[in-house]
Amino acid sequence: MDILDASLVDWSRAQFALTAIYHWLFVPLTLGLSFIMAITESIYVKTGNEEWKNLTKFWMKLFGINFVIGAATGIILEFEFGTNWSNYSWIVGDIFGAPLAVEGIMAFFLESTFIAVMFFGWNKVSKKFHLFSTWLVAVGSNLSALWILVANGWMNYPVGMEFNADTARSEMVSFWDLLFSPVTVNKFLHTISSSYVVSALFVIGVSAWFILKKRHLLLAKRSIVVAAVFGLTTSLFMAYTGDGSAYHVAQKQPAKLAAMEGLYEGKEGAGLVVFGVLKDSRNFASGDNFVFKFEIPKLLSWLGYRSANAYVPGINDLINGNPERGVESVNSKMEKGRIAVTALAEYKAAKESKNDSVMQSSLATFKANYKYIGYGYIDDPESIIPPIPLTFYSFHVMVALGFYFILLFMLFIYFTLKKKLETKRWLLKVGLWSIPLGYLASQLGWVVAEVGRQPWAIQDILPVHKATSHLDSSNVQITFILFAILFTVLLIAELRIMTRAIKNGPKE
């Protein structure tokens, strides 16, 4: 058995997290601002009012700055699957690589082809064709997100695949199961709607700054109207898809749900914790590990199982098992996982010695226990529970911010309709300082999704520590430092260029 280099695993995780966090600082604005531009340009083409064209070109400039830097970090992120996670890429590359290939061939070329027309085609192509190009850029950028999220959704709920014992690789048997997995569909809708909210907050914040400085008032007011309506619509949809996410997590990843809610003991009619403070998060023997909490009775059971009295398994149920509730213990799964690992090794040995009878019996045993194979590499039953405080607090702060955004958009729409927006300086300042809160909520969503999945690279199939490349940890440490410096420089450059473009404002 390979000796686990814990340092290599930790540094590989840290480098991938670093890259993903920086990359996701740029993606939400790209996804949402592209549609806001398409909407404002549609109004321009419909009305012929040049002010709407000027408005569109201003936001297009900021979109372009953000798009270029975001694309650079995304390319590095994909390369890391080959450099730091080669075991993962070998085992599941036939499945995971397919949506990424489609993303590169279809979506990337779609947006890159028409982005040139969008930026440089003003007064060179017809208004309608230019508008068509802008909409295709918006659709293309969101299609890019779709295929990446198909790959990520599959990691959380692996479907449409079979494991080939001869090659020791997972192979796709149904692309459509992969694409239309309920986890994937909901993840895509929730992710892009959260990105639209981030972009709406960005437009409102920048526009609020213009009003506070008494500059470009017409552009700012019109931008706020579009962004607030866009933001309110998408934030309500985000809340709806968030409910769908909770349901699918309960069905497919109960350990993540238990960590999100700090639920140590399973119960019927489980309440949803609105806010609370944890004690010793790894004290699994404690039935209730909160200093204090406020919860809504029965709501967690309803969200997770669509029944107010449904039983929700807690952390202790998931570790030790609860036969009365149909919850299998981790030790039982570990035993079956080791049977699968041993049977696979016996199959390979029998194949080399051409012993057909042993091959067939080993293969049958392997297939019967394959869904537990990841547990065969788990040594500590408690390790299947993700970091509880990080998952719990990230989830609750994210949800609280989501409801705050809904209220904020409603306030901007209300005072705009009342024509009192300019007099509400407090609201304009709140809108400006809410820009970073949008990014924070979006990042926390990914923390819940990815930290909450630990210790799995592929849920129940492949633990993270078996997915890494065979590297010296010092190599990963060096590249981590280099990437940290590079990404920080890129972020500072983006902020300086963006702030300069905002201060200069649109060309009159």
DSSP class of residue 375 equals: G
Q: How far is CA 18 from CA 80, 191, 484, in A?
A: 11, 19, 7
Convert 315-356 into a string of H (helix), E (strand) and C (coil): HHHHHHCEHHHCECCHHHHHHHHHHHHHHHHHHHHHHHCCCH
Q: Name the nearest CA neighbour of 148 among 198, 182, 188.
A: 188
Is 318's pLDDT higher than 80? yes
The predicted model gives 186-193 an average pLDDT of 94
Is 166's pLDDT higher than 90? no
CA atoms within 13 A of residue 40's CA, in its CB half-sphere: 29
Note the pLDDT of residue 347.
Answer: 92
Six-digit token pair at 440? 């924070």
Q: Where are the domains of the chain?
A: 6-253+386-504, 262-321, 330-377
Characterize 155-168 residue by residue with b for buried, 16 or more Cβ atoms within 10 angstroms of its Cβ, and e for exposed.
Answer: bbbbbbbebebeee
Give this prediction's pTM.
0.92
Percent of the chain scoring above 90 in pLDDT = 66
Q: Reply yes or no: is the peptide bond before residue 455 cis, omega within 30 of 0.
A: yes
> Could you give the angle at which helices 435-451 and 388-417 cross, rounded to 10 degrees?
150
Separation of alpha carbons 214 and 426, rounded Å: 15
The pLDDT confidence band at residue 286, using thresholds 50, 70 and 90, is low
Six-digit token pair at 258? 């238990």
> Could you give the angle at which helices 6-24 and 435-451 cross, rounded to 10 degrees?
150
Separation of alpha carbons 458 and 498, rounded Å: 38
Separation of alpha carbons 275 and 246, rounded Å: 17
The pLDDT confidence band at residue 287, using thresholds 50, 70 and 90, is low
Note the pLDDT of residue 4.
Answer: 53
Separation of alpha carbons 397 and 142, rounded Å: 26
The pLDDT confidence band at residue 25, using thresholds 50, 70 and 90, is very high
Separation of alpha carbons 389 and 345, rounded Å: 39
List of E strands, 445-500: 456-458, 462-463
Note the pLDDT of residue 75.
Answer: 78
DSSP class of residue 159 equals: -
Separation of alpha carbons 366 and 377, rounded Å: 15
Mean pLDDT score of the chain: 90
Residue 286: Cβ within 10 Å count: 15
Six-digit token pair at 91? 């085992």
CA atoms within 13 A of residue 222's CA, in its CB half-sphere: 21
Strand partners, 275: 294
CA angle 442, 443, 447 (to 5 degrees): 120
Displacement of CA 114 from its chain's centroid (Å): 26
Note the pLDDT of residue 108.
Answer: 67
Is 220's pLDDT higher than 50? yes
The predicted model gives 459-467 an average pLDDT of 92
Is 80's pLDDT higher than 90? no
Residue 131: Cβ within 10 Å count: 19
Read out DSSP for 12-66? HHHHHHHHHHHHHTTHHHHHHHHHHHHHHHHHHHHH--HHHHHHHHHHHHHHHHH
Read out DSSP for 68-95? HHHHHHHHHHHHHHHHT-HHHHHHHHHH
**Which are the contacts of 414, defined by CB distance < 8 A and separation ≥ 6?**
none
Residue 106: Cβ within 10 Å count: 15
Helix (H) or strand (E) holding 162: strand 161-164
Separation of alpha carbons 467 and 87, rounded Å: 5
Separation of alpha carbons 98 and 150, rounded Å: 10
Strand partners, 458: 462
pLDDT tens digit sequence for 5-19: 678 888 999 999 999
Note the pLDDT of residue 1.
Answer: 41
Between 281 and 270, name the one with better pLDDT.
270
Between 97 and 458, name the one with better pLDDT.
458
Phi, psi of 322 (to 5 degrees): -150, 85
Give the pairing of strands 311-312 and 456-458.
unpaired
The predicted model gives 56-70 an average pLDDT of 90
Separation of alpha carbons 446 and 195, rounded Å: 12
Separation of alpha carbons 15 and 468, rounded Å: 12
The pLDDT confidence band at residue 73, using thresholds 50, 70 and 90, is confident
Separation of alpha carbons 375 and 359, rounded Å: 23
The predicted model gives 50-64 an average pLDDT of 93
The predicted model gives 162-175 an average pLDDT of 89
Q: Maximum Cα–Cα distance for the chain, whole Å?
A: 85
Convert 350-368 into a string of H (helix), E (strand) and C (coil): HHHCCCHHHHHHHHHHHHH
